[in-house]
Structure 1
Amino acid sequence: MASNSNSTIHVACCFDRNYELPFIVLANSIRRASSRHVVLHALHEGPLDLAPRELRDAPGLTVNFIDVTDRYGRFNTHGPQTTVTYARLSLPDILEGVERVLYLDTDMLVMRDIAPLYFSDLGECALGAVIDYGLLIRLLRDEPLPVEGATTLICDYLRDTIRLSNPHRYFNAGALLIDLEKFRSLGIAQRAREALSNELSRAIFNDQDALNFAVAGAFVELDPRWNAIQDILFKEVHQRLPAEIEAVVDLYKEPWIMHYAGVKPWRSNILPGPWERQFWQAAQEANVEWPLLWAFWRAIPYLRPYQIDSYLWEARNRGPQIGTATVLMWAMKHFMRR
């Protein structure tokens, strides 16, 4: 797909009220970083409180709010995700007339103009995505599935259940560049839904598993910086990473899209993650810093001593950059009891 300076960029997100505030942060980061006009298709389930008002007059950004309640196929979910995650499988139907869309999870932060990503050449493929390096680390270490009591190795799960001939070609579905016309013609969404009703009825990674099953490794591998997962950096701290991942971590020094998969900045019960400062600065710029802090104040029932030292250090050294009130409120939410 050739680049066109006059072309509009289409982005889509799927969320419910639980992620309305992070969606506002993401939307503002897209607007701030984009060089072209962006139409953001907000596929939400149920009514929204703040987003329509906060994003109404955002320059360079048009938000198309679409209530998808009862407009997508629901399946069982594993883990903390709600069923609205499956709404992304209905993007080809809901965005009729749109040729290409960039799907982004709402726990992301855009740090660079997404135009180079949006106009990437997909060749004959319907999808562009980034390898799930967090899962690849577990795969290279011959670890079992990351579920309680699991004994099945990830390698076996990807080969036997997801049916990937090359398990290293498993992608993360948090950022997907989709050619909707090819996606429709190849019946990828339908194949994913059928799998979820049959052999993937107990999928560990929900629609991500289903999409990997349906695509079967036929996707364009995108630069890891377009879906840089913070969780990998936590793994780097505690364990030595496989050599194959070290080059990816080196690229993470300048991430283009930060993905807070795993521990969320607004629900963090541990020392601040490496990219939490950027998130709270973005939340402040989007005017939802305080609502986010108050909405998730019940993260843990007590504050550990080392966390007090961490927050005091942040307030003293980083307060001028991200707002001392932010740091103190961040600490305060840990004092609160259920």
Structure 2
Amino acid sequence: MNIMFCGDSHAEDGILITTLSLLKNTSTPLHFYILTMHAEGYTAFNQQAFRLIKKLLKEKDPNNTAELIDCTELFKKEPPRANMETRFTPYAMLRLFADQLPQIPDRILYLDDDIIVRKDISDFYNQDLTNIELVGVLDFWGRFFFHNIHTHKPFDYLNSGVLLLNMSEIKKTQLFAKVREKMSDKKMLLPDQSALNKLATEKKIAPRCYNEQYRLRPDTKIQHFTTSFRFKPYFHTLTVKPWDIERVHSVLKLHEYDDLLKQYTELRSQLKRA
């Protein structure tokens, strides 16, 4: 199973937790591709954290692999100029350079760093991708506000935190190249996600269980700890990340992942000195 992550040093805790969850729930070999870069005001994903993650993969299965890929020069050549001053994190754009990286395989699953894999996802990963650019789950809130009239579907706005990518098809349609160009020219809310939804013509919508963005349900296979809205006791946004264990317990009342978070707590100190 090929997995792609993107991020700077702030992504290290989340990717470690996601790694532990994948190791727990995956029986086939795992191949990680972590995309990072050096940029002013940011610190790249560090080698110590990468070595720890690679060590955990190899301990589980010698066939597991990991590669840390520096995308600095690619980013400099095609920066998202129109979106550099927004709340957008430029590291999220790095996945859009996957078509320029020869080591990225044709089938790869992109995951945000605030993801926990709860159950086996082999059926999702191995689904037929004939004539499909990407597969994702509807954005829990965005589906009500954003719509592409060309798809002829009432709901079609995908959350980009979990995306199964068909790189051969993406290269053929030049989807990522078109998205990079749009992000350079037009300022957008959630720019990479919005551009992907606008420009992807061959996308497939997967069941909610593969990217649960609101609250844990019995069939959840992937839980995404994204910012959400709550209406009680008053309307407010809510953001709780997996590595904020105290708030996972106190705010979300969630103990489903205590075994994984215990492992993470024991390993966390090694992120900077592995």
For this structure pair, what is the TM-score category when the shorter chain's length is used for normalisation?
Answer: 0.7 to 0.9
Q: What pairs with 1:132-281 in structure 2 (closer than 5 Å)? A: 132-136=139-143, 139=144, 154-155=145-146, 158=147, 166=153, 168-198=155-185, 201-216=186-201, 218-229=202-213, 232-233=214-215, 252-262=217-227, 263=239, 264-267=241-244, 268=247, 271-275=250-254, 277-281=255-259
Q: Give the Cα–Cα distance (whole angstroms) in 2 for the partners of residues 270 and 32 of structure 1.
A: 21
Indicate the RMSD between aligned Cα atoms, in angstroms. Answer: 2.7
Shift of 1:97: 6.0
Aligned equivalent of 2:135: 128
AA partner of residue 79 (structure 2): R
TM-score, normalised to structure 1's length?
A: 0.64
C-alpha distance 193-279 of structure 1, shift in aligned 2 (>3 A): same
Shift of 1:279: 4.5
Which stretch of structure 1 is more off in the superposition, 282-291 or 58-67?
Answer: 282-291
Aligned equivalent of 1:110: 117
Q: Is the 8 A contact 1:78 1:203 kept in 2?
A: no
Is 2:49 the partner of 1:50?
Answer: yes
Structure richer in helix, relative to its length: 1
Q: Give the Cα–Cα distance (whole angstroms) in 1 for the partners of residues 248 and 114 of structure 2.
A: 17
AA partner of residue 93 (structure 1): Q
Q: What pairs with 1:93-108 in structure 2 (closer than 5 Å)? A: 93-96=100-103, 98-108=105-115
Q: Give the Cα–Cα distance (whole angstroms) in 2 for the partners of residues 96 and 105 of structure 1.
A: 20
Count residues with an aligned counterpart: 241
Q: Give the Cα–Cα distance (whole angstroms) in 2 for the partners of residues 68 and 283 of structure 1.
A: 30
Q: Is the 8 A contact 1:26 1:108 kept in 2?
A: yes
Aligned equivalent of 2:40: none
Shift of 1:88: 0.8
Aligned equivalent of 2:66: 63
Q: Give the Cα–Cα distance (whole angstroms) in 1 for the partners of residues 207 and 118 of structure 2.
A: 14
Q: Is the 8 A contact 2:7 2:45 kept in 1?
A: no
Return 5+ residue gaps in structure 2 as ranges.
Answer: 38-43, 228-238
- What SS does structure 2 have at the residue aligned with 1:169? coil
Shift of 1:191: 1.3
- What SS does structure 2 have at the residue aligned with 1:273? coil
The one-character-per-residue Cα deviations of 1:226-257 (angstroms, maximum 9, x if unpaired) are 1111xx23xxxxxxxxxxxxxxx8xx223101
C-alpha distance 167-202 of structure 1, shift in aligned 2 (>3 A): farther
Q: Give the Cα–Cα distance (whole angstroms) in 2 for the partners of residues 184 and 96 of structure 1.
A: 14
AA partner of residue 211 (structure 2): N
Q: Give the Cα–Cα distance (whole angstroms) in 1 for the partners of residues 104 and 7 of structure 2.
A: 22
The one-character-per-residue Cα deviations of 1:45-80 (angstroms, maximum 9, x if unpaired) are 325142313432332332211122232333225765
Q: Is the 8 A contact 1:108 1:259 kept in 2?
A: yes
The one-character-per-residue Cα deviations of 1:158-185 (angstroms, maximum 9, x if unpaired) are 459xx76546101011111111100100
The structure with the largest alpha-carbon Rg is: 1
Q: Give the Cα–Cα distance (whole angstroms) in 2 for the partners of residues 274 and 256 of structure 1.
A: 19
Q: Give the Cα–Cα distance (whole angstroms) in 2 for the partners of residues 67 and 97 of structure 1.
A: 13
C-alpha distance 269-34 of structure 1, shift in aligned 2 (>3 A): closer
Return 5+ residue gaps in structure 1 as ranges.
Answer: 1-8, 140-153, 234-248, 293-338
Q: Give the Cα–Cα distance (whole angstroms) in 2 for the partners of residues 10 and 28 of structure 1.
A: 15
C-alpha distance 286-179 of structure 1, shift in aligned 2 (>3 A): same
AA partner of residue 18 (structure 1): H
Shift of 1:112: 1.6
Q: Give the Cα–Cα distance (whole angstroms) in 1 for the partners of residues 85 and 32 of structure 2.
A: 28
Aligned equivalent of 2:236: none
Shift of 1:209: 0.5
AA partner of residue 69 (structure 1): T
Q: Is the 8 A contact 2:148 2:157 kept in 1?
A: no
C-alpha distance 66-278 of structure 1, shift in aligned 2 (>3 A): farther
Shift of 1:116: 1.3
Percent identical pairs in the alignment equals 20
Bigger relative contact order (CA 8 A; separation at least 6): 2
Q: Give the Cα–Cα distance (whole angstroms) in 1 for the partners of residues 27 and 152 of structure 2.
A: 39
TM-score, normalised to structure 2's length?
A: 0.78
Q: Is the 8 A contact 2:148 2:197 kept in 1?
A: no
AA partner of residue 59 (structure 2): A
- What SS does structure 1 have at the residue aligned with 2:189? coil
